């Protein structure tokens, strides 16, 4: 079972916890601040479907991941994140020995991540802002063993950066991020290191013209490119040929923002999947979620 599931790891690692869960983009991080002493809660449901299997296993995989994130503004420049995902996984495949279709499902808590984002450059204008921040954190092996290899026993380190530029009183926003995940060995298994990169553009369609008073609710259309490079993994010292590779998704979405709540939805469609070996390829990732400014 582990070997069957490990072949899915590239897209599962990307689909379960994209960079965007860390903050304000749908699948992409942003460098906008959390007020000092303030809390934001975020939850997102991500449905990852993968059925494109070239092998006789004919794998049919559905994973629903619900990362829950608490953001805290320690200072105007330093935001802290705690992420705990809940994961449901269902896999159907053809047992090679019996030829029968087998279905297995697991659910439970995924590995937790603690993250810090520090703004090193900020330039605010009357109609926009330009910011650059550094990211760093730790992934802890707190997840359920039944969800391996989505969960692992290792302590891993994500490091990266994120940038946000807004213009035109919120009409346009461009976000970009890049995170390198240093994955370590535990229990004989070492996931390949990963480089995740994202680029997002948001365009405000409503209101088309800002009213003379107040701060109205905004409706954005969002276009993202979300990619991941992954090295091959190792199991008991042996390189796993059916692991690692490169995938790139294009992700249209919408986002509705008020003072207290943001609602959002996005579908990620693969345009590049150069996966090593016989890994099952992703059909799509559907994400929907909300964010709340806590009082």
Partner 1 sequence: MFKTPILFFGILALALMSIQPVFAETERIEMRVDGMTCPFCVYGIEKKLKGVAGIEDASANLKTGIVDITVNNGNEVDVDKLKKAVEESGFTPGEIKVTATGSVTEYRGYAALKVAGSEQVFRLVGKREHGKEESLSKEKMDEIRAATKNGAELITVTGHIHAHSDYPPALSVDSFTIK
Among 43, 231, 288, 293, binds partner 1 (CB under 8 A): 293
Q: How far is the CB of 257 from partner 1 (least distance, A)?
A: 5
Residue 95 touches partner 1, criterion: CB under 8 A:
no
Tokens of 190: 């070492």
Among 54, 74, 102, 217, binds partner 1 (CB under 8 A): 217
Q: Which of 25, 133, 114 is nearest to 75 (CA)?
A: 133
Strands in 185-186's sheet, in edge-to-edge order, are 185-186, 189-190, 234-235, 238-239
| CA distance linking residue 42 with residue 112, whole number of Å | 15
Q: How far is the CB of 130 from partner 1 (least distance, A)?
A: 9
Among 19, 28, 154, 166, binds partner 1 (CB under 8 A): 166
Using CB under 8 A, which of the segments 7-15, 147-155, 215-223, 278-286 binds partner 1? 215-223
Q: How far is the CB of 176 from partner 1 (least distance, A)?
A: 17
Q: How far is the CB of 253 from partner 1 (least distance, A)?
A: 16
State which residue, 33 or 67, has the beta carbon closest to partner 1.
Answer: 33
Residue 262 touches partner 1, criterion: CB under 8 A:
yes
Q: How far is the CB of 72 from partner 1 (least distance, A)?
A: 12
Q: How far is the CB of 217 from partner 1 (least distance, A)?
A: 6
Among 45, 73, 134, 234, binds partner 1 (CB under 8 A): 73
Long-range contacts of 123-131 (CB under 8 A, 24+ apart): 127/167, 127/168, 127/169, 128/165, 128/166, 128/167, 128/168, 128/169, 128/170, 129/32, 129/164, 129/165, 129/166, 130/163, 130/164, 130/165, 130/166, 131/31, 131/32, 131/163, 131/164, 131/165
Tokens of 69: 């994130």
| CA distance linking residue 199 with residue 25, whole number of Å | 10
Site for partner 1 in 119-158 (CB under 8 A): 122, 124-129
Rg (CA), the chain: 20
Total residues at interface with partner 1 (CB under 8 A) = 39
**Bridge partner list, 109:** 86
φ/ψ of 5, rounded to 5, equals: -75, -30
Q: How far is the CB of 115 from partner 1 (least distance, A)?
A: 17
Using CB under 8 A, which of the segments 27-35, 56-64, 89-97, 110-118 binds partner 1? 27-35
From residue 32, give the alpha-carbon distance in Å to each of 35, 128, 163, 209: 10, 11, 9, 23
Residue 99 touches partner 1, criterion: CB under 8 A:
no
Tokens of 166: 């807004």
φ/ψ of 146, rounded to 5, equals: -65, -15
Using CB under 8 A, which of the segments 35-43, 80-88, 101-109, 225-233 binds partner 1? 35-43
| Residues near partner 1 (CB under 8 A) | 24, 32-38, 73, 76-77, 122, 124-129, 166, 169-170, 173, 210-218, 257-260, 262, 291, 293, 295
């Amino acid at each position: 079972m582990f070997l069957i599931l490990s072949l899915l790891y590239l897209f599962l690692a990307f689909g379960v916890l994209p960079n965007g869960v860390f903050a304000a983009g749908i699948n992409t991080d942003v460098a906008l601040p959390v007020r000092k002493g303030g809390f934001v809660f975020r939850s997102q449901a991500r449905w990852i479907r993968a059925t494109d299997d070239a092998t006789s296993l004919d794998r049919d995989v559905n994973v629903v991941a619900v990362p829950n994130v608490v953001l805290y503004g320690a200072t105007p420049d330093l935001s802290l994140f705690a992420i705990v995902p809940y994961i449901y996984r269902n896999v159907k495949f053809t047992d090679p020995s019996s030829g029968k279709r087998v279905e297995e499902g697991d659910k439970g808590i995924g590995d937790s991540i603690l993250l810090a984002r520090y703004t090193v450059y900020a330039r605010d204008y009357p109609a926009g802002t330009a910011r650059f921040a550094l990211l760093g954190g730790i992934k802890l092996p707190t997840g359920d063993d039944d969800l391996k290899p989505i969960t692992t026993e290792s302590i891993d380190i994500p490091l990266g950066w994120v940038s946000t530029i807004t213009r035109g009183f919120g009409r346009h926003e461009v976000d970009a991020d890049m995170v390198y995940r240093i994955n370590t060995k535990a229990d004989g298994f070492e996931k390949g290191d990963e480089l995740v990169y994202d680029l997002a553009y948001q365009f405000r369609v409503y209101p088309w013209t800002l009213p003379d008073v107040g701060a109205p609710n905004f409706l954005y259309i969002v276009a993202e490119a979300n990619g991941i490079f992954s090295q091959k993994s190792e199991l008991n010292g042996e390189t796993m040929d059916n692991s690692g590779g490169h995938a790139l998704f294009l992700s249209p979405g919408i986002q509705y923002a008020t003072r207290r709540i943001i609602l959002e939805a996005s579908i990620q469609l693969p345009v590049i999947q150069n996966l090593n070996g016989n890994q099952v390829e992703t059909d799509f990732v559907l994400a929907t979620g909300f964010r709340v400014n806590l009082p």
